[in-house]
Chain A
């Protein structure tokens, strides 16, 4: 019995504990929300191309002295007109590519890729 415990039992317990700990860590990591920022300045979205994991909330903040919008070209999301200092947030829950633009200044374009 003592030999069994020393050879198999204790290592098995250790392995189980390690696996259980890893699982707990994994759950904790997946549950933590992540956030990213996009700045709207000088009629540009910066960064223009953003790659984020599923579950990320992206916040766009307008620093220009005129209004802009953040409008998905595939009608997934659309902000109201953002005044200077105004912001808009959207949480991406599905993988894919999400191009967007400013409805007032359509040469302003950006994209969010969700993985």
Chain B
């Protein structure tokens, strides 16, 4: 992805099940409004979307939101005010129609686990209209103490290092932790205990149950040289192969990349704190300094609209400006 394509999303579809409407979609730019991606019956389509809803909600339809990589505590050239941009993201979320029923935070809540950073996030999120937030940690949330502070705050109703699942209107949501116990030269890791739990957790479900998986580091190999992948992600996805609709939501790379593989659609998310370069587009990953006035175009939030009866999930990404 080139620098000029920073506001574009490239969709890759890696498999063809014989449905002839499938194909590649490329470089859909937007200018401050949302870009709505819909997968329905295995077909991906997109259209521009204003902040307010453009269509009449269908029966059973609901929406939830995703925010990611708030990195509270970060203060450097890439963004001197991550609290300010987080507040802008919350304002964006609060303006969404339909209103999200809840929010998923896909990790890196804090930057350094320093005292007060978790508190600051909690304080800021009080201004969210959606009162329920579900979390998975990022590596910045667990590196200093193997996740003790994170679990003390967000570990209720989770297992192990913080994995959990819940159901909402017929959709099964699974939060995974692939950032604790990272090994030298490795990628994200789920571990045997969590994988065993995942297999058991999804076994009783009917294949028609829409599944949403959220985890910090991408479960697919976006760019392993930069640590953008999960060593045992493929094993996790193997337990979900039989389901008709699987949506994987990740953070970590601070930009939107999307991929479809069979019945699985993968979406990474913008950060609310700072952007990162496109895969391989710089000597290394990390906070990317952009010209004044461009930062808000590269930070943002996501809304996912779900029609459970149709197994249809539409994602819309909203930059802050």
Chain A positions near chain B (C-beta within 8 angstroms): 42-44, 64-67, 69, 73, 80-81, 83-84, 99-101, 103-107, 109
Contacts and interface: CB of A to CB of B under 8 A. Distances in A.
A67 B111 contact: yes
B141 to A, nearest CB: 11
B291 to A, nearest CB: 16
B185 A66 contact: no
A66 B287 contact: yes
Interface of B: 74, 76-78, 111-113, 139-140, 143-144, 182-187, 224-227, 283-287, 289
Task: Report, nearest first, the 8 A-B pairs whose CB atoms are least far apart.
Answer: A101-B184, A43-B284, A42-B284, A103-B143, A106-B182, A42-B283, A107-B227, A65-B76
Contacts of B227: 105-107
Contacts of A99: 184
Contact of A81 (B143, B226, B289): B143
A104 B139 contact: yes
Main secondary structure of the interface of A (DSSP, over half): loop
13 contacts: A43-B284, A43-B286, A65-B78, A65-B286, A65-B289, A81-B113, A100-B184, A104-B143, A106-B186, A107-B186, A107-B224, A107-B226, A109-B185
Nearest to B138: A104
A1 to B, nearest CB: 73
A65 B284 contact: no
Contacts of B225: 107
Nearest to A64: B286
Contact of B143 (A43, A64, A69, A73): A69
B144 A44 contact: no
Most buried by B among A84, A104, A109: A104
Given A43-B226, A106-B187, 13 more contacts: A42-B283, A43-B286, A65-B76, A65-B286, A65-B287, A67-B112, A67-B140, A81-B144, A99-B184, A101-B185, A104-B143, A106-B186, A109-B185
